[in-house]
Amino acid sequence: MADDVAAGQMSLFAMPMGSGAHAAGWRHPLAAPSRLTDIGHYRAIAEIAERGLFDALFLADAQGFRPVAGREAYAAVDAVRMDPVTVLGALSMVTDRLGLIATLSTSFNEPYSAARRLATLDHVSGGRAGWNVVTSTTENEAHNFGRDAHYGHAERYARAEEFVEVARAVWDSWDGDGVTADKASGRYFDPDKVHAVAHAGAHFRVAGPATMPRPPQGHPVIVQAGASEAGLAMAARMAEAVFTSHPSLESAVAFYGLLKGQVEAMGRPRDALKILTAVQPIVAETTAEAVAIADELEALIPTELALSLLGMQFGGFDFAGFDPDGPLPAIPPNNASKGSQTRIIEHAAREGMSLVQIARHVAGGRTSKTLAGTAEEVADELARWFRAGAADGFVIAAPILPDMLAQFVDGVVPILQARGLFRDRYRGRTLREHLGLAVPASRHDGHPERHVEPEIWQRKKP
């Protein structure tokens, strides 16, 4: 298998969030007046990422509004989110090698239809699909799916594990060589090579089989970004890539060691799971210029928006009555992402930040690390993190799109290539090949006893 990772090279993913990862990026004079429902916006980003030989483009998602305080804060640009699978399907036609990773929630989807959409994306793109498995954090999503409240944290993850398991069973329901398309016999597929799913679990009942052959990658690449104990346990068991973000090299190295250890404890090779940490690069001609852009961006975030975005990280907590120049107050337990709350609290304490300072920091970077400097400095920092064992690669969350992704691709990527830290051409075609991940064996390979005839075939004609 073509394998870029074995050569000691890092992976790079592009994460376009709205018109830029920074909450105020779209307001900056450098930002294109982009319309987030215009496929041309995503096409430009995808073409830049592929020009930069990125492993993949990843679309974040939520099927509802995030909990922020007040209607003004709701009017933020990242309220606009289109269905990622549809957007990536369109992008598959204008790209050739770039991996395409869609976020799909296990709390607010059904595994059969999610597996079907992802398998379709994998077929349409010729084996470039990935799935960012999220359990979702916002209550509004629950309200859009007939529930009064989100599932509790433990139930979310119990549902998520079963959901992924069912999706994999759906993908395995056709053997790789199931389709014979035999014109002579009139049989399109070999019925012995198509299996029932026959799943009846605590959360889902799925008969199967899939309505299409096994995806080209076997299974689309499974990505996970939950940072709680339950999230990490699930990642160690079933994820092939993990998105994370860290304010410091030390916390990234500690996280990397912990998670890779958990992967090994599950009996999987360390390399079976890649760890990608999110960074916001601000690349300019000089360090001073880059820092000035970072400051300009921060100043563009209204204080109320910053406080309410921080509140969102804590389950919609209202910071309005607190002294913005005082410390981060104690926050009652809530149902939002535990991993990011811990990181924010620790970061504020370590840096001695006031409430408004940590709020602006979180609102701007959404806890991804900002790297402001020259192309050389940004490349140095990525190389330092990669060599220190902090990450297998990086999720590039450009603060202003598409310009700052282009600056990264044109400025930083050639330096990483010159140092042998990043590929100089695509060697593989599929996302698995870019990442050096094996095609997963089907549960039916070598196990004829597992074959269950699809229920529907067994029915007698009336």
Residues contributing to the site for ligand FMN (CB under 6 A)? 60-62, 103, 132, 134-137, 225-228, 231, 243-245, 278, 337-340, 395
Rounded to a whole number of angstroms, the minimum distance from the CB of residue 16 to ligand FMN is 11
| 134 versus 328: smaller Cβ distance to ligand FMN | 134
Bond preceding residue 209 cis, omega within 30 of 0: yes
Gap between the Cα atoms of 248 and 257, Å rounded: 15
Residue 340's φ and ψ, nearest 5 degrees, are: -75, -30
Candidates 226, 257, 251, 256; CA nearest to 239 is 226
| 166 versus 227: smaller Cβ distance to ligand FMN | 227
Rounded to a whole number of angstroms, the minimum distance from the CB of residue 159 to ligand FMN is 12
**Token reading at 176:** 């790789």
| 221 versus 356: smaller Cβ distance to ligand FMN | 221
| 196 versus 230: smaller Cβ distance to ligand FMN | 230
Rounded to a whole number of angstroms, the minimum distance from the CB of residue 112 to ligand FMN is 21
Q: Which H/E stretch holds residue 233?
A: helix 229-238
Q: How far is CA 116 from CA 158, 204, 234, 323, in A?
A: 21, 15, 22, 50
Rounded to a whole number of angstroms, the minimum distance from the CB of residue 276 to ligand FMN is 8
Rounded to a whole number of angstroms, the minimum distance from the CB of residue 209 to ligand FMN is 29
Rounded to a whole number of angstroms, the minimum distance from the CB of residue 326 to ligand FMN is 27
Candidates 10, 123, 60; CA nearest to 383 is 10
* Coil vs helix vs strand at 92: helix
- Around Cβ 108, how many Cβ atoms within 10 Å? 21
What lies within 8 Å, CB to CB, of 176 at 6+ separation is 213, 214, 218, 442
DSSP 367-415: TSEEEEE-HHHHHHHHHHHHHTTS-SEEEE--SSTTHHHHHIIIIIHHH
| 225 versus 305: smaller Cβ distance to ligand FMN | 225
Rounded to a whole number of angstroms, the minimum distance from the CB of residue 230 to ligand FMN is 6
Side chain identity at residue 386, one-letter code: F
What lies within 8 Å, CB to CB, of 288 at 6+ separation is none
| 34 versus 136: smaller Cβ distance to ligand FMN | 136
Rounded to a whole number of angstroms, the minimum distance from the CB of residue 243 to ligand FMN is 4
Rounded to a whole number of angstroms, the minimum distance from the CB of residue 213 to ligand FMN is 29
* Coil vs helix vs strand at 39: helix
CA 323 to chain centre: 35
| 13 versus 174: smaller Cβ distance to ligand FMN | 13
Rounded to a whole number of angstroms, the minimum distance from the CB of residue 203 to ligand FMN is 17
| 173 versus 340: smaller Cβ distance to ligand FMN | 340
Gap between the Cα atoms of 365 and 345, Å rounded: 15
Rounded to a whole number of angstroms, the minimum distance from the CB of residue 191 to ligand FMN is 39
| 136 versus 430: smaller Cβ distance to ligand FMN | 136
Q: Which H/E stretch holds residue 337?
A: none
Pure H helices in 145-204: 153-171
| 220 versus 226: smaller Cβ distance to ligand FMN | 226
100, 202 Cβ separation under 8 angstroms: no
* Coil vs helix vs strand at 328: coil
Chain position carrying tokens 């395995």:
172
CA 161 to chain centre: 17
Residue 131's φ and ψ, nearest 5 degrees, are: -130, 115
| 346 versus 455: smaller Cβ distance to ligand FMN | 346
**Token reading at 156:** 């979310």
| 229 versus 285: smaller Cβ distance to ligand FMN | 229
Looking at residue 412, the DSSP 8-state letter turns out to be I
Gap between the Cα atoms of 22 and 298, Å rounded: 9
* Coil vs helix vs strand at 244: strand
Rounded to a whole number of angstroms, the minimum distance from the CB of residue 254 to ligand FMN is 16
